[in-house]
Amino acid sequence: MVIASDYRVPNPERVWPLIQRRKSALAGIGAHHVLVYTSTHDYGRVLVTIGVRSREPIVELLRSRVFFDWFDAVGVEDIPAVFAGEIVERFNSGTASPPAAPGVVIAAIASVDNVSVLTTEIRGALSRFQTAGIRETRVFKAFDDGHEVLILQEIDDEDAAQRWIKHPDVVAHWMTGAPGGAYPPLFVGKLVGMMRIDG
């Protein structure tokens, strides 16, 4: 299960220390991992993903003031949408080489016609994804909308990410959604912190 939020703050350097100070509160909602990414080309934009052990705490959390307090603490002015869902599939399109340094992440929230068809299409395109520099693709489906997905892709570097955005694979139709709609634009960023929380 994952909770993801993409938002803008005046000082993105404050986000990771704040999360570290709230480790016990995160453990209390069943979180097991927290990852923080900052945009590589849009200063102030941050993506936070929280992995949780069960669906129940997510529902409780989204009804509580925890997120609003969190956003207030880091200076969020416009409360963003929060994606809550579960992983559908993880695709590894990288080679079996020694672990590489963290790459660049591309994140998209989009509406698709059929999630099963999407995962089948991705599976058939993995060799092309690898050629484009994509190491891993994770697909999450929203709890409250069977057509809404969060797609996270790790790619080698910023140059490869920009090439992929400009010329995505034919199956990557989530990359070309209309800007300014219900979903935020593509997020491109680097990992600045990862925390494991023992339950």
Q: pTM (2 decimals)?
A: 0.89
| Token pair for 20 | 């570290």
CATH of domain 2-83+190-196: 3.30.70.100
What CA–CA distance (Å, rounded) separates 81 from 94?
31
Are 2-83+190-196 and 87-183 the same fold in CATH? yes
Instruction: Tell me the CATH class for 87-183.
Output: alpha beta
Number of H helices, E strands in the chain: 7, 8
What CA–CA distance (Å, rounded) separates 52 from 33?
7
Domain ranges of the chain: 2-83+190-196, 87-183
- Tens-binned pLDDT, residue by residue, of the chain (199 aa): 899 999 899 999 989 998 888 888 788 778 899 999 999 999 999 999 999 887 665 666 666 666 677 778 888 877 777 899 999 999 998 655 555 667 899 999 999 999 999 999 999 999 999 999 999 999 999 988 999 999 999 999 999 999 999 999 999 988 876 455 678 889 999 999 999 998 6
